[in-house]
Amino acid sequence: MATVDLFAIGNALIDQEFRVSDQFLTEQNLQKGTMQLADGDTQAQLYNNLNASQVYKGQASGGSAANTTVAFSALGSSAFYACRVGNDELGRIYLDGLNDAGIITSQKSISEGVTGTCMVLVSDDSERTMQTYLGITAELSAQQMDFEPLKTAQWLYIEGYLSTSDTARLAVKQARQIAREHNVKIALTLSDPAMVQYARQGLNELLDDGVDLIFCNEQEAMLYTETDTVEAALAKLKTLSRDVVITLSAKGALVSNQDQHFYVPGRKVNAVDANGAGDAFSGAFLYALNCGENLQTAAQLAILVSSEVVAKFGPRLEIAEYATLLETFKKECA
């Protein structure tokens, strides 16, 4: 039985990234800064429109929780990723990419169907807008999951995008039960404002009776709690989670629980692409906690790693870059 520090559950998506104009987003009826689901034909039409008028930047393996897991693993801890891909070329590329990053996966993840894809549209201000065709990952269920590694893990990490899938929510419920039985801490990310707006009931199911750590940005926090300020949102979120982390984009992050409340400033970089930044933040934060660091140190490392992701195109850094950043961080803290 594989022993891992992190057991993550999330969608498996191949990203196609484009640099786009705000005008293009308006013309395509896409809400800037959010993720919208689409069927295959609709996404194919968008892809054609993108190729005709916008700038293609490349292909990358994505998926929110997968990006988090890559950061967590590349920094030096062990991880397992539960997902569902098709028995196709993109599915093989996806799983091979995770395995190359040192992440354990299961053959159960492969099934007949089409691997999901995501059009990632990056505006001049580095904001990312996404249109996703989930493909077979829409039917992610407990059948694709080997729960044995979860029993010895330190953390269970749940992606909020799973709130749209009936079968995935049932799988998460089973995972949560196993985690509680084996004293595994549970972390969850709200993932996207669109999930809060259109899949609130699903998010409620994922949160169930609460978690140990919740990640969200300020927009997601206020939308989910139906409040007008970050502070008011924090107060409500602390009734659902022991620790709450609210990212504030370039401004930094707020971290709060019943005993402490603090702000960690952001780090100035030349912003290129915000895609994956929040995911990297979560991965670095969880890595630091897993190593026994306090919340303050975890937030500082998370800001360093996520800011570097923002400074480059794509949802992830090169694997070696995470270790380099960690060494830099240790030297600065010495």
- Do residues 296 and 256 touch, judged by C-beta distance below 8 A? no
| Main-chain phi, psi angles of 283, to 5 degrees | -65, -45
CATH class held by domain 4-12+62-113+135-331: alpha beta
pLDDT of res. 1: 52
At 253 the three-state DSSP class reads strand
pTM for the whole structure: 0.95
pLDDT of res. 2: 66
Residue 194's identity, in one-letter code, is A
Mean pLDDT by 10 residues, the chain (334 residues): 89 95 96 94 97 93 95 97 97 94 95 96 94 96 96 97 97 98 98 94 97 97 97 96 96 96 95 93 98 97 97 93 95 82
CA dihedral 171, 292, 315, 111 (to 10 degrees): -30
- Do residues 150 and 106 touch, judged by C-beta distance below 8 A? no
**Alpha-carbon distance 69 to 80, whole Å?**
8
For 189, the token pair is 């990310």
pLDDT of res. 99: 95
pLDDT of res. 68: 98
**Alpha-carbon distance 251 to 262, whole Å?**
13
Q: Which of 144, 198, 194, 181 is nearest to 9 (CA)?
A: 144
Burial state string for 304-315 with b = 16 or more CB within 10 A and e = fewer than 16: bbbbbbbbbbbb
**Alpha-carbon distance 252 to 108, whole Å?**
39
DSSP line for 5-23: SEEEE---EEEEEEE--HH
Per domain, the residue ranges of the chain are 4-12+62-113+135-331
Burial state string for 152-184 with b = 16 or more CB within 10 A and e = fewer than 16: ebbbbbbbbbbbbbebbbebbeebbebbeeeeb
Residue 286's identity, in one-letter code, is L
8-state DSSP, 121: E
